């Protein structure tokens, strides 16, 4: 006992260790409660984040499915357009071939030759150019080769011979090219 203190101070001096221990236990309990609360808040935040990610994943999955359907629909439309274009081009070539006849060395004057060359059109090709990236390589390459063949045919000018024009038209209607596109 300490004689220097009296009353409440003496009581505090005598029981200070017990009071400090009690304060430490109370502080430990407060720290424990704070830790439990923090852990619960962290779990709630993680749960909310997982739910948000699940919603976002579902939205992205739906968008992906919609994009696939759109791409499939556009590819089908491009394929149908290509088929229709090929049919028209084949008709144009047949019509052009029916406009002249005679021996291979027969002469076709310039105006008539130019008219025949330009009678082979490229219907729907502008649209198909926009969609060529959607087409498989096995279809896109022959399409591009056909367009180049028609462009070369139309770029020529002047008089020609029946055989030369027939060869050019047949080159535009090569069976292997058309078979790949069909």
Q: With beta carbons less than 8 A apart as the criterion, state whether 97 and 169 touch.
A: yes
Residue 88 reports pLDDT greater than 60: yes
Classified as helix, coil or strand, 175 is: helix
Within-domain flag for 2: no
Within-domain flag for 35: yes
Within-domain flag for 107: yes
Give the count of domains, the chain. Answer: 1
Lookup result for tokens 């291979």: 104
Length of the chain: 182
Q: With beta carbons less than 8 A apart as the criterion, state whether 86 and 79 touch.
A: no
User: Pick from 106, 120, 121: which is nearest to 159 by CA?
Assistant: 106
Cα 158 to Cα 111: distance, rounded to the nearest angstrom:
8
Within-domain flag for 126: yes
Within-domain flag for 53: yes
Cα 106 to Cα 165: distance, rounded to the nearest angstrom:
10
Give whichever of 13-22, 63-72, 164-173 has the largest mean pLDDT.
63-72
How much is the pLDDT for 33?
Answer: 96
Within-domain flag for 3: no
Lookup result for tokens 């591009």: 144
Q: Which domain holds residue 36?
A: 8-181
Residue 34 reports pLDDT greater than 90: yes
């Amino acid at each position: 006992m300490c004689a220097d203190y009296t009353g409440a101070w003496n009581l505090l001096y005598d029981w200070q260790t017990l009071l400090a221990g009690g304060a430490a236990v109370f502080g430990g309990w407060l720290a424990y409660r704070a830790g439990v609360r923090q852990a619960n808040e962290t779990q709630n935040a993680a749960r909310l984040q997982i739910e948000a990610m699940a919603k976002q994943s579902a939205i992205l999955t739906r968008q992906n499915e919609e994009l696939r359907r759109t791409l499939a629909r556009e590819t089908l439309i491009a394929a149908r357009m290509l088929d229709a274009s090929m049919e028209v081009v084949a008709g144009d070539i047949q019509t052009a071939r029916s406009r002249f006849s005679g021996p291979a060395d027969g002469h076709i004057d310039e105006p008539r030759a130019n008219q025949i060359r330009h009678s082979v059109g490229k219907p729907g090709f502008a649209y198909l150019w926009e969609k060529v990236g959607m087409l498989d390589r096995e279809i896109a390459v022959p399409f591009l080769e056909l367009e180049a063949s028609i462009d070369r045919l139309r770029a020529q000018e002047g008089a020609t011979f029946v055989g030369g024009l027939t060869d050019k038209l047949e080159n535009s209607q090569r069976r292997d090219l058309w078979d790949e596109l069909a």
